[in-house]
Structure 1
């Protein structure tokens, strides 16, 4: 089973989310940034790579916040969400239309992939 990672960046009562560009399987959905771990890559290394590739920022990966699972296009994934600390907030968007700092309550009204909704529901508990 492949690992899909997500990074949860907190700033006060807000969380960082990114809006995917259209044209992908979860296009125009809000997400906690992250992505699939490559073969032999740790979840921490995957998050560092994904934040660099997608948002142009370096990060420090903290503790595991949530673990679950989901299916996408017939593939099963183990979902792991970690706390993240940003080294900078000067984003260079490559796969996203924009990033925003939103409260958890604000996120409930926005479109999200099922995997990101799992993380949101866990954070709301």
Structure 2
């Protein structure tokens, strides 16, 4: 069994659109929030800032913690190959330091990452977004649930 891993994620919303990473895998197109694994000795807020530079090529202001989600691989659709994964994900409200930025090319993109895109919030239910629950919560103003548990 692998150790539990912490991951810091950015929720960047601007003008009614969410900034996401577009991935291409064997199932087609999927979208995820920018962010990734926390390194030893690194605070979560620093991890999300570093990961945004690596994946979207833009510096961010890291704001408040919005949600904590667990991902226990054996309980999800990809259990066949990641059943031994247990990850705790921390979702932070972030904003681009340069909100006028039009170029999003990170120095160290994720595997399968093909683009960085803005998706209108009202279109989130029509795409393969992971985790979809975070997208649903973005549409519900006033949602205050921080700990979400193991969900998709």
Alignment equivalent of 1:102, drawn from 119, 122, 126: 119
Residue number in structure 1 paired with 2:88: 78
Structure 1 runs (4+) greater than 6 angstroms displaced:
none
Residue number in structure 1 paired with 2:18: 15
Paired residues of 2:21 and 2:117 also in contact (CA < 8 A): yes
Q: For 1:44-123, list aligned pairs within 5 A.
A: 44-72=45-73, 73=82, 74-88=84-98, 89=101, 90-93=103-106, 94-95=109-110, 96-113=113-130, 116-123=131-138
Q: CA deviation at 1:99?
A: 2.0
- How many pairs are equivalent? 121
Task: Please give the root-mean-square deviation of Cα atoms over the aligned residues, in Å.
Answer: 2.1
Structure (1 or 2) with the larger CA radius of gyration: 2
TM-score using structure 2 length: 0.69
For the residue of structure 2 that corresponds to 1:78, the secondary structure is: strand
Paired residues of 2:56 and 2:116 also in contact (CA < 8 A): no
Question: 5+ residue gaps in structure 2?
Answer: 74-81, 141-152
